[in-house]
Amino acid sequence: MFGPVIPRLLYAAPISNSEALMGKEHRTSIHKTEDATFPSIPNAIEIYMAKQLDELPTFSEDVDDVLDIKRAYQVNKSWVGDPCGPKNYTWEGLECNYSVSVPPWIISLNLSSSGLSGMISASFGSLSAMESLDLSNNHLTFNCINFGSNAIFLNRYGSRLLSQEGSNTTSKEAGGKAIPGVYDDDSARSFEPDALCGEPGIL
């Protein structure tokens, strides 16, 4: 069916077949070619079967945004395949909103204590259905990002979740941009937005 195959040393060599295999049982054998110096010594073999899923794939823009986040911070999690599907195999730290007629959306993202560093990516703000974002206990530089009606921000110390969740949270307008209030998880107090954005006078 296949061959001859010459895999690279210490590299995986995927092999595919353009025709579907029929029947309930299949046997695979590996033989060396006539001019081979050594017999075949495979380290491991994995066989995959394509499965038709009834669920819709994740909203494409959410997929692009979360992949941007993965690349930007080199997220060290098992993030492969579709972020929200199948339901039992959603990406670690993600929660999604499912509907029969529309693709699932990412509504919650928990990247706490994930070793993230640098500026907070604008891709977080592009996740338009986001309801909860936890970037606590990382080494991120605080900056303001417009999350629309679900404005969620991280404080400059990287140790608390800042969001519009809870009754103590406020949102104010400054220069046409939504500036969120801060919800402090530890003390349940509300802070003024000028303490967040580093722009004194924004109230």
Q: Give the CATH number for residue 67.
A: 3.80.10
d(CA 7, CA 114): 36
Does a structural domain hold residue 12? no
Does a structural domain hold residue 122? yes
CA nearest to 105, candidates 71, 78, 130, 77:
130
Does a structural domain hold residue 147? yes
Total domain count, the chain: 1
pLDDT of residue 164: 38
Complete DSSP assignment for 38-64: S----S-----------SPPPPHHHHH
Per-residue pLDDT of the chain (203 residues; tens, 9 = 90+): 666 777 777 777 777 777 777 778 878 788 888 888 877 777 777 777 777 778 899 999 999 999 999 999 999 898 999 999 988 899 999 999 999 889 999 999 999 889 888 888 889 888 888 888 888 888 877 666 666 655 454 444 443 334 333 333 333 332 333 334 434 343 333 333 333 444 432 22
Identify the domain containing residue 139 by its residue range. 60-197
Does a structural domain hold residue 165? yes
End-to-end CA distance of the chain: 71
pLDDT of residue 124: 87
Does a structural domain hold residue 27? no
pTM of the model: 0.58
Diameter of the chain by CA atoms?
A: 81
